[in-house]
Structure 1
Amino acid sequence: MTSKVPTNIITGFLGVGKTTTILNLLKHKPENENWAVLVNEFGEIGIDGAILTDQGAMIKEVPGGCMCCTAGVPMSVGINALLRQKPDRLIIEPTGLGHPKQVVATLTSEQYHNYVDLKATIALVDPRNLRNAKYTTNQNFNDQLDSADVVIGNKVDVCQPDDIEAFNHWIASQAVPKTFSQLVEQGALPLSVLEIERVQGSASSHIEHHHHDHASQEPQFELPPGEAFIRRENKGQGYFSCGWLFGAEYEFDFDQLFSMLSDLTAERVKAVVNTDQGTYAFNVANGVVSVNQMSLSGFESRLEVIDTHLMPWQDLEVILLKLCGIAQA
């Protein structure tokens, strides 16, 4: 490589709209540029990578908890694989239950000194969460905002005036002013934000090792021969996740799946599913189900559920198998 790759970390808590924001950025990137995205998810079944692949970006996934665990090996492997493809820009999306500090420390290490031009760390926040003790007392939520140079208030279209006031007050009260802040809808982040320079030392390299349990260091995405589906679980920092991967030959009943997701009380649900009406991405946050049709075909359906309580995964699995017509033993 003859020049450093401009690199952005886009962080934020569960359900804040990181993937939607990255999708918007990809849609508006210069046509002559090839972008790469490293996606990290708390769950063991990769969802975001499937969604982003539909936009033609080079994607690498690190599921199963914080990608900075185990001496940063999973993260470095993913970064190296993407850099070898010589992208014009690299975007890194850490898990919503993680923080960017170790990612920053890795990208600013000697290993990547000649290859990565790390720009400002961007944190997304739902302004409604700034008035909710469930979030404001969460250490990772605060760490993500504190370590960011740029803070974007997303989902302003569903916010109340008090939420907007809370965001503006939070920005104004920072002892160390943020380089840039803005309120946006639907993750409509202007491309110019990606060029904002990083404040040196804005994210400490000191990391407390309190990350997730890993079901595996190298999660497998392909189904074993003869298997109709697989299930993977993870837990950490007071959250539990369970994910399923289904063979591409199975189709879900769209209406019944939508109804089931609407009734599900989990904190966070993401899915990319083959249905009788086509392939769709499902996103559940704050009790609202959003759906987007995708151009993918012949794709293995996948669904991930995250909650603060251990849910009856087996009961949910029975419902999912029924919805896609897999015979149960």
Structure 2
Amino acid sequence: MTARSRLSRLVRDGRDAPRSAARLLALLVLASAALMVVDARGGTSGDSPIDPARAAVGTVVGPVEAGANSAVRPFRALGDAVRTNGHLRGRVATLQEQNSDLRSRLATEPVDRNRLAEYDGLTSAAHDTGYTLVPAHVVGIGAAQSFTRTVTLDAGTSAGIHADSTVVSKDGLVGRVVRATRDSATVLLAVDSQSVVGGRLASTMKIGFLRGNGSLGNGGRLSLDLVDNAVPPQVGDAVVTWGSGKGGPYVAGIPIGQVTKVSTSPRELSRTATIKPYVDFGALDLVGVVVAKGTHSDRSLIQADGKVQ
């Protein structure tokens, strides 16, 4: 066969290839349709002629699929394990965060509860005494000027606080303001050895002067020297402030403490009463500073009627 004849044959075969493919496709479609019809008719009688072929294919292909599934299963399990591990790590992190939050709340709950009780106590104090109070927190303790027992408050002149303002807690007298800046105030405690407070016996109305011993702990005491010794103080008597001119440095009627001991000089010319203060000066937190009614303040004021301005 010459080269020309071969070329002509290839061209002719190329032209006939699409026709052959079309014929083959048509035959496959007809065969599939015929098998479907036969299988459907056999299916109605419960015995399809295709079942043996189907069973044979299942016998051959089934083990292959099972083997492939067994081979792939570890990789699928690995992917599931990775996803599950990631989910568990996220869950553990969430639980740890929640646990930390609960611990923080548990740790601060006593402080919050105590401050709420102190605020309620200040509200009662304002109602009982008739004074308007600026609530403030003790944020520092230390010496100031020549005094030895002072505390620092987180409120100052912008809150309406000024020097010679009376400072109280829910239990009684704390001291007086000796210095105030815009945002802070220094308070001289009543137990300071340089502090002098005018006091009155609640039972006899006798007046005198109290001086501290400088102790902040359980040993903190005040000494009361009465102006008139005609009527001696009695153990258990309550002592309150008798007030100063123009409302400062101490307003009248603030509880100070209770008489625990009475000492008499050898010639009975004078008597000194030892006073245990109502306030625990070693645990001061929320206090109230007495201000005049209508004072302009950058924080809420506790009114005598219990309302917050």
Which is helix-richer, 1 or 2? 2
| Structure whose alpha-carbon radius of gyration is higher | 2
- Answer whether TM exceeds 0.5 for this pair: no
Give the TM-score of the pair, scaled to structure 2: 0.24
Give the TM-score of the pair, scaled to structure 1: 0.22
